[in-house]
Amino acid sequence: MTRLRSQISELRRRAESRLEGRPAPARAVAEDPRRLVHELEVHRVELELQNEELRAARFETETALERYTDLFDFAPVGYLVVTADGTITKANFAAARLLGQERSRVVGRRFGGFVAEDHAPVFERFLAGAFAADGDGPEPREISIRGGAGGERTVRVTIGIVSGPVPSALLAVEDETVRRQAEEALREEGRRKDEFLGALSHELRNPLSPLRNAVYLLEHAAPGGDVAHNALRIMDRQLGHLTAIIEDLLDVTRIARGKLRLSCEALDLVELVRRTMDDHRAIFQARGIALEGDLPAEPCCVSGDATRLVQILGNLLGNAQKFTPTGGRVKVAVRSEGPVVVLSVRDSGVGVAPEIRARIFEPFTQAPQSLARAPGGLGLGLATVKGLVELHGGTVSLASEGQGRGSEFTIRLPRVSEPSRAVAPVLPSAPGRRRILLIEDNEDGCSTLKELLELSGHEVHTAPDGPTGLAAAREHRPEIVICDIGLPGMDGYQVARALRADAATHGAFLVALTGYARPDDARRAAEAGFDRHMGKPPSAEKLERVFGEAGSGADAR
C-alpha cells in the first residue's frame, strides 16, 4: 500500500510537470480550461492507480482467505464455528472425523447432539458462559462425545467468540482419548522396563552366589580333587549364564539399531534343526520332557546364517522347556509350503494368556511370575527371535488357546533351491610360544588373563595404562599386543595409533580386548590400527585362534 501511494505521488508530480511544460496560451482567457484539463489528467492517473491498488488489495485478501481456509480445513485440531444455540455453521475435516460424519452432514446440526447425554448440560452451560463473558472465554472443558469409529471418546473443548454480524463461537476440539492412550502406553513401557531392570538385577545376582562359593571351595579344597573339579564346573556354567545374558542384551540392541549383520548361505534347515535338537535333548531328558521331531526325509533349503538360525531354534526350545512341566511334550516340525519353509515348535506347557499374546515378541515382555521366578529370563529371547527371523526375510507367529493349553510358535522362511556344499573350516596351525604385551587397567582381569596365557606357554608382560604400555612395547618388542580400550588418561585407540607410528612397534599384531562390542566399536578399532577386535570375556580357544592369525609375529609384517 505504501509503495502504491508513493507511485501515485510520483505520477502526479510527473503529470503536473508535463502539463506545466506546455507553452502558455496567448490569451489569459484560456487559463481556466488549461487548469481544468490539468486537474482532469491528474485525477485520471490517480483513479487508474487507485484501481490498481484495489485490485492488489483484492488479490491479497483472496490469497489470505485461501490460506485461512486451508489452515482451517486441514488443521490437525478439530475446529467448529457454532451459533449461540450450538448450531454448526462451519467444520473442518478433523472435527468431522471426530464426530464420525462427513463435513456436509455436520453443518446445520447442533453440536449438543453429538455430546454424551450426561455431559450435555455441562456443554450447554459452557457455551452460554462463553457468549455471556465480556473478556476471555471460560477455561477449556473435557466432555464426552459420540461418533467416529472409536465410539464414545473424551475431547477437550476450547471456546473463542468470533465477532461479526451474527455472534458466533469457534470451538477447538482436541481428542484426549489418543493422548491418554499414548500416556498410558508410556506408563506401561516404563513399568515393563522397571520390571526388566528388576529381572536383570535378579538374573545377574543369581550366578554371583555360586561363583563366590566356588571360589571359596577352590581356596580350601584339595587341588585336583572332586570338590575342586565340581567348583570349576559350577564356575564355568555360571559364567556361561552371565555371558548369555550379556549377548541377549547386545543382540536386542543391535537388531533395534539395524547394526546386526547376517552371513547367509543356502543350507538345509532340516539338518540344522536335527543337530540343534540333539544338542538340547539332554536338557529335556533331565527335566522329564519328551522332545519329538517331525522332520521330512528330503531337504528343505533356506538362505540363512546358520549360527543365527540355531540361536532362533535354541531360544524357542529354551522357552518351551522353561514353561512345560515334567511329563510334558515338545514337538519340532519342519515342512515345505510352496515358496516357504515352515518351522514350528509346539509344547504342552502353561500356554500364553490373551493379554500377553499381543505383545509377546516385544522386548522386556514376560508372563506374570511369582517371586520365586522359577522360569527366569529377561523377556528378551522372543524379541531376539522376531528380530532375527525378520532379518532373514521371514515371519514368526504364536498360537495358544490360553493358559494351561500349550503354545505353538511358527516360523516361515523363504525357500531356496538347494544348499551350498559344506566347506570344512580351515583351522590355524598351533601358534606356539608368543611374546605378548597385555595393557589392562583392571587388576583382576589383567592378572587372570596373564596367568591363562602363561599356562598356554606364552611370554606375557603387562602394563596398567597407555603410557606405561608404550614404554613396555619399546622395551620388550612384543609380537602381539592385547590392549583394553577404556584405559585411564590415554585410551586404547590412542595407544594403537602410537604403536603404529613408532618404528620399533609398528609391526606388532594388535588385538583390542574390550567391553565395547558394538559394530561401530569394531570399526573405530580398525581405523585406529587394531588387527582384531574382541569382546570381553574371551575364551582361551578364541584367543589362540586369533594368535594363529598373527602369522609369525612382528617379523612377518
Distance CA 435, CA 1 (A): 87
Is the predicted pLDDT of residue 430 greater than 90, yes or no? Answer: no
Distance CA 448, CA 454 (A): 10
Q: From the CA atom positions of the chain, what is the Rg in Å? A: 40
Distance CA 167, CA 89 (A): 12
CA-CA-CA-CA torsion for 250, 256, 257, 262, nearest 10 degrees? 70
Distance CA 235, CA 228 (A): 11
Higher pLDDT, 552 or 35: 35
Higher pLDDT, 427 or 19: 19
Mean pLDDT of the 498-527 span: 85
Chain segment 338-379, per-residue pLDDT in tens? 899 999 999 998 888 777 777 777 766 655 543 334 444 556
The three cell numbers of residue 339 are 515358496
Beta bridge pairs of residue 268: 301
Mean pLDDT of the 47-69 span: 72
According to the model, what pLDDT value does residue 419 have?
Answer: 56
> Do the bridges between strand 435-439 and strand 290-294 make them parallel or antiparallel, or are there none, so unpaired?
unpaired
pLDDT band for position 553 (50/70/90)? very low
- The Cβ of residue 267 has, within 10 Å, a number of other Cβ atoms equal to 21
**Most confident range, picked from 123-132, 181-190, 384-393, 443-452:** 384-393
pLDDT band for position 494 (50/70/90)? very high
pLDDT band for position 105 (50/70/90)? confident
Helix, coil or strand: residue 481: strand
According to the model, what pLDDT value does residue 363 have?
Answer: 67
According to the model, what pLDDT value does residue 250 have?
Answer: 77
Is the predicted pLDDT of residue 11 greater than 60, yes or no? Answer: no
Helix, coil or strand: residue 292: strand
Higher pLDDT, 353 or 463: 463
Beta bridge pairs of residue 169: 82, 161
Give the residue among 260, 308, 243, 252 at the shortest CA–CA distance from 520.
260
- The Cβ of residue 425 has, within 10 Å, a number of other Cβ atoms equal to 6
Q: Which of 12-26, 172-186, 435-449, 516-530 has the lowest mean pLDDT?
A: 12-26
In order, the DSSP letters of 134-148 are SSS-PPPEEEEE--S
On the 0-12 / 13-18 / 19+ scale of CB atoms within 10 A, 524 is middle
Q: What percent of the chain has a predicted confidence (pLDDT) above 90?
A: 23
On the 0-12 / 13-18 / 19+ scale of CB atoms within 10 A, 507 is middle
The three cell numbers of residue 245 are 545374558
Phi, psi (rounded to 5 degrees) for 483: -130, 130
Task: Judge if pTM exceeds 0.75.
Answer: no
Distance CA 76, CA 359 (A): 30
pLDDT band for position 59 (50/70/90)? confident
Higher pLDDT, 496 or 375: 496
Distance CA 316, CA 529 (A): 40
According to the model, what pLDDT value does residue 379 have?
Answer: 64
| Amino acid, res. 178 | V
List CB contacts of 276: < 8 A, sequence separation 6 or more.
Answer: 310, 313, 314, 317
Distance CA 400, CA 407 (A): 4
In order, the DSSP letters of 456-469 are TT-EEEEESSHHHH
According to the model, what pLDDT value does residue 23 have?
Answer: 53
Distance CA 439, CA 472 (A): 9
With residue 356 as reference, give the H or E element that holds it.
helix 354-357
Is the predicted pLDDT of residue 5 greater than 80, yes or no? Answer: no
Chain segment 255-304, per-residue pLDDT in tens? 777 777 788 889 999 999 999 998 888 889 988 999 999 999 999 999 99
Is the predicted pLDDT of residue 433 greater than 60, yes or no? Answer: yes
Distance CA 141, CA 296 (A): 66
